[in-house]
Structure 1
Amino acid sequence: MNYRHAYHAGNFSDVHKHAVLALILAHLVRKPAPIAYFDTHAGIGAYDLGSIQAEKTGEWRGGIGRVLAAAAPPEALAPYLAVVRDLNPEGGLRFYPGSPAVAAALTRPGDRLALCELHPEDAAELRRAFAAERRAAIHAADGYGALKALLPPPERRGLVLIDPPFEVTDEFARMREGLRQALKRWATGVYALWYPIKARAPVERFLADLAMLGLPKTLVAELMIRGGDDPARLNGCAMAVVNPPFTLEPALQTLLPWLAGVLAPGEGSGRVEWLVEEPTPR
């Protein structure tokens, strides 16, 4: 529980994660029926990019800073950019939305948010940030364990974001087991699993292990900012989306190459691949 996301808010991996998250949510709210959103590692909700922590690393400058400065962003980026701009109504860039803020902005009054955060200080700050939000329940608990109690939701539709800090060496195994348990309770939910890419071999083992769960349709959206296979560096990140909306793949086919070109000109790459493909879209 030592990880504090304030040092990394708005970096390239946040841009990737939250842009994909926004696309999924934008699709889910098209239908009138309410949805439930579950966040297993919620953080504090939103971040001040002028804070000591954010300024110490300056990672946001190579992430959301570059994206906002770029010309002609693709339409697929519109839901995400709208959230960022709404959080900075006076213009410029001072505040950055974490996943709970993205979800709160893109869902409706009849939808519901369940936000889990284990770090006691971050959980307390998250609770303060969402004190006036009646749709949100804050759980100061391990997100994997909380899913066992929270699923299936009465809404029957919705999204689970699994986004751990990868502080422990067996996080891939924990994520796989958390997904396995969750699918037993709610097989039709949309699950978005974010993970870092350092060395390639652990990632390939993780994806192979996921496929062995007998998953429904599953899409992998990957963004790399550099080549190489260095386990000591964050070379990229990816999101595995179980039961993805049928609109997600074509949107990502345009979004990821654009992000790669803006965030890592000449070195970045983006790709979308099916880990498990079914003939009939949802």
Structure 2
Amino acid sequence: MNYRHAFHAGNHADVLKHVTLLALCDALAAKPAPCFALDTHAGRGLYRLDDAQAQRTGEAAGGVARLQATDVRDPALARYLDAVRACRDAHGAAAYPGSPWMLAHALRAQDRIACCELQAEEADALRSAFREEPRVAVHARDGYAALGALLPPRVGKTRFARGLVLIDPPYEQQLDEFKPALAALREGLRRWPQATYALWYPVRQRRALQPFYRAATALPAKSALLCELLMRADDSPLRMNGSGLLLLNPPWRLDAALTPALREMRALLGEPGADSRLEWLRTPP
């Protein structure tokens, strides 16, 4: 696998993913019982936007940097920018937090986080980033297989009834990546059915995703919500026009919290033809 997230850190897809991830974490932390989070494709956890990889693409300029140059109004976007600011206060002005850092930032002392990363260099960097963080366990292993191995979660004598699984694969296989991702979701739901699951995916042309949408609707979750942000019209099959998250068993009223955030992200980050949508594939009971 050749994918390196450092090329794309802080871009519009990261903005969508991390705004949503923080909203999910805040919903979990609103209740006193401890929770567990699993990040199956964690990367290195912490990035620098001034390094050669990030500078080569410059994608952060159209994502986090554009938001930072604006007075955002939506609370979910402000929450995201506060987290980025906290990361930079701790790690320097060019730092950008990956999803493991966001999880550690948003969750509490009683919560636990497991991060999986298969690439040795990235896994080593992830361990280094969290070497002084006892809540975070780093596993150098295949993230899909981790859903069978690490769920339902138990750390010591603690069994976790509540939690979150984030699946953020590289999609080097493009549309073929959905097959193992959906199989992993099905296995996760079988082993830990009450958890919330979030699968990130790129959007080139929505019509090519129809088989994925149908398969997602058939998953044995109580509810399923699509959250998508397109930067431009999806009429080009040669570029990533946007991205989305499939949210299984999302917390109550998450859609209401994300609706204004999506609207503002579309207005601030989008080009002509930009679009967003929140659509229930399966409504909550």
Q: Structure 1: how far apart are the matches of 2:196 and 2:163? A: 6
Q: Does 1:176 align with 2:182?
A: yes
Q: Aligned to 1:166, which of 165, 171, 175?
A: 171
Percentage identity across aligned positions? 46
Residue matched to 2:213: 207
Task: Answer yes or no: is the 8 Å Cα contact 2:232–2:272 preserved in 1.
Answer: no
Residue matched to 2:161: 156
Count of residues in correspondence between the two structures: 279
TM-score by length of 2: 0.94
1:50-83 CA distances to partner (integer Å, 9 max, x unpaired)?
A: 1111111110001001111112330122332221
Task: Answer yes or no: is the 8 Å Cα contact 2:232–2:271 preserved in 1.
Answer: no
Instruction: Supply the AA of the counterpart residue of 1:253.
Output: T
Residue matched to 2:238: 232
Task: Answer yes or no: is the 8 Å Cα contact 2:39–2:167 preserved in 1.
Answer: yes
Q: CA deviation at 1:156?
A: 1.1
Change (3 A) 1:93 1:268: farther
Task: Answer yes or no: is the 8 Å Cα contact 2:186–2:220 preserved in 1.
Answer: no
Aligned ranges 1:25-174 → 2 under 5 Å: 25-89=25-89, 93-153=93-153, 154-169=159-174, 170-174=176-180
TM-score by length of 1: 0.95
SS of aligned partner of 1:87 = helix
Q: CA RMSD in A?
A: 1.5
Task: Answer yes or no: is the 8 Å Cα contact 1:227–1:267 preserved in 2.
Answer: yes
Task: Answer yes or no: is the 8 Å Cα contact 1:39–1:100 preserved in 2.
Answer: yes
Q: Which moved more, 1:165-174 or 1:8-17?
A: 165-174
Q: CA deviation at 1:236?
A: 0.7
1:150-209 CA distances to partner (integer Å, 9 max, x unpaired)?
A: 001221111000000001242011111010011110000000110000122331210101
Task: Answer yes or no: is the 8 Å Cα contact 1:27–1:247 preserved in 2.
Answer: no
Structure 1 gap segments, 5+ residues each = none
Q: CA deviation at 1:91?
A: 11
